[in-house]
Chain A
Amino acid sequence: MRDPRHPKLWTVIFAIVAVAYLFPILLVLINSFKGKVFVSSEPFALPNAETFVGLENYITGIAKTDFLSSFGWSLVITIGSAFLILLCTSMTAWWIVRTDNRFAKSLYIVFLFNLVVPFQMVMFTLSWLTDYLGLGNPFGLWIVYLGFGAGLAVFIFTGFVKGIPTEIEEAATIDGCGPVRTFFLVVLPIMKPAVITVAILEVMWLWNDYLLPYLTLDIRTYKTVPIAVQYLKGGYGTVDMGAMMGVLVLAMIPVIIFYLFSQKHIIKGVVAGAVKG
């Protein structure tokens, strides 16, 4: 690609666009320090002596939504489900590719079908079934997520395994490794790039998913971060916009910090996932 004729000009133009791009988030941050009345009445004003309330919005927001425990449960659900998905579907994908019989092929097609089905299709029956089976808690959700999220993971893993030459695995067998040891000692390390891709795509989905946990979890006991945010909206009463701003900032900060440290992997993972998809 040819380099631009005026590189400095482009740097300036994009700097302005980038700041404008972040403006909605900055606006929430600014408003999180203002009294709740002023958030709605003058959202574009900076906090001043009259409107500044310090950390009050954060304190009421945390108290109203049970934010800290919601954050903890979000972590438990996301990490547990992602780990289970990575472990189980990578094994399944390898088995499907290497066995390659009629059962394996039909299994693969069913997983592919899972990719196109929107959640609304299973929403009502799934929430009944999880309740019936007693899975309406963060640990039960690991299983539910493994089930509903299997399609994409199996799809990306099988695509990757097809490209691995079988010679290495055969050598391991000759050296006396059974299928289980071959998988964990030889195949899984080779699959590392695909594991990272799937981990990123699944975590982005799991952490932000709202409807599935909302319908399946026992909300009085367990909330996740998106549920906590939506919870502030509540029934018919007016929303405490101050607390809302505080909770929004708290919901975004950990994600942005995480992104600052792992953005290269995240962007690579998204690209790799899209090219295979």
Chain B
Amino acid sequence: MYRSLKRWWWLFTGPTIAAFIIGFVAPFALGVYLSFTKFTTVTKSRWVGLDNYARLLSDDTFLHSLWYTAAFALVTTVIINVVAFAVAYMLVKKFKGSNLYRSVFFMPNLIGGIVLGYVWLLLLNGILGHWARSITYSATYGFWGLVILVCWQQIGYMMVIYIAGLQSIPGELIESAEVDGATPRQTLRSVIIPLVMPSITVCTFLTITNGFKLFDQNLALTNGAPSRQSELLALNIYNTFYGRTAFEGVGQAKAVIFLIIVAAISLLQNRFARSKEA
């Protein structure tokens, strides 16, 4: 039968491939090409070689957003994973309401980034108002505001993955460690953490890439203020495209660099996960 299946490629893969070309392949190829040209619309472009890439190196807002984003991704990854693991570690134990609390912590993930951004704008500005300041007072305020927002949102997501990982550990393993006289801390370090390593790699990967790709929350909470100091990479690229004309080529070149960074992280993580499994 599988031999005759080949003849049905047009039905099984045709619609997906057609949409995939429109929604991804063509825009992607065109995007790579346009990063080497000067253009204002897609149809009017002039080849300039590596000019756009040279220009983005002297773009201070871009270099700033690069470091800002790297710091943001690092900080959120550490906080989210440590807290999510700790909460998961408690919630797999039996006490009244542990299932309800799990549902509560996961809930923010269903609400979109734009909505969450404005929800937190109210709360953070309300608190900062006591000192007559707001979230856009400085880049540092925006940074920690975004960190709090994103941690609040994603801890629940990573927590459910850690809970599943913890629940898959056979109970006898932990019991036998305890019978052998291991302290709770030793059990955690030498039995539990190695066994949930697959969950840890998945969650760190998700949080790092989410951190680098973050856009909606940034747009709603600070929109880059003050003076583009709280712009993450994605928003910086967006503003380069749509904020001022004649910079579209630079924006596209930034997007290519952005892609390379995200792809490199994915590859590294993949290799790391494989080496752990082997």
Contact = CB atoms under 8 A, between A and B. Distances in A.
A2 interface: yes
Contacts of B26: 125, 129
Contact of A229 (B2, B92, B115): B115
A31 B118 CA distance: 13
A94 B2 CA distance: 11
A270 B103 CA distance: 13
A122 B20 contact: no
Interface in B1-42: 1-2, 4-6, 8-9, 11-13, 15-17, 19-28, 30-31, 34, 41-42
Contact of A252 (B42, B115, B234): B115
Contacts of A89: 16
Given A2-B174, A24-B120, A124 B252 contact: yes
Contacts of B115: 208, 225-226, 229, 248, 251-252
Interface stretch (B46-54, B73-81, B211-219): B211-219
B97 to A, nearest CB: 5
B6 A101 contact: yes
A124 B251 contact: yes
Contacts of A23: 123
Contact of A148 (B8, B24, B104, B174): B24
Given A21-B104, A107-B13, A143-B19, A117 B2 contact: no
Interface centre among A2, A89, A173, by most chain B C-beta atoms within 10 angstroms, is A2
A120 B238 contact: yes
Nearest to B164: A271
Interface size class of chain A, counting residues whose CB lies under 8 Å from the partner chain: 35 or more
B194 interface: no
Given A1-B166, A3-B93, A229-B115, A123 B238 contact: yes
B19 A146 contact: yes
Contacts of A179: 1, 4-5, 8, 12
Given A18-B101, A207-B112, A121 B31 contact: yes
Given A144-B23, A147-B22, A274-B206, A11 B13 contact: no
A274 B202 CA distance: 7
Contacts of B213: 118-119
Contacts of A267: 102-103, 106, 160
A225 B160 contact: no
A271 B160 contact: yes
Interface in A251-266: 251-252, 255-256, 258-259, 263, 266
Contacts of B263: 116-117
B20 to A, nearest CB: 5
A170 interface: yes
Contacts of A8: 95-96
Contact of B107 (A150, A151, A183, A256): A256
B231 interface: no
B157 to A, nearest CB: 7
Nearest to B34: A125
B119 interface: yes
A74 to B, nearest CB: 10
A53 interface: no
Nearest to B248: A124
B56 interface: no
Interface string A62-103: 000000000000000000000000001101101110110101
B160 A117 contact: no
Interface centre among A15, A44, A151, A210, by most chain B C-beta atoms within 10 angstroms, is A210
Given A129-B26, A146-B15, 16 more contacts: A2-B174, A7-B94, A15-B97, A24-B120, A43-B123, A43-B129, A92-B16, A121-B31, A124-B42, A128-B41, A210-B216, A225-B112, A225-B115, A256-B110, A267-B102, A271-B164
Interface of B: 1-2, 4-6, 8-9, 11-13, 15-17, 19-28, 30-31, 34, 41-42, 89-98, 100-107, 109-115, 118-120, 122-123, 125-126, 129, 152, 157, 160-161, 164, 166, 169, 171, 174, 178, 184, 198-199, 202-203, 206, 212-213, 215-216, 219-220, 233-234, 237-238, 241, 248, 251-252, 254-256, 258-259, 262-263, 266
A-B pairs with the 3 shortest C-beta distances? A147-B23, A208-B112, A43-B126
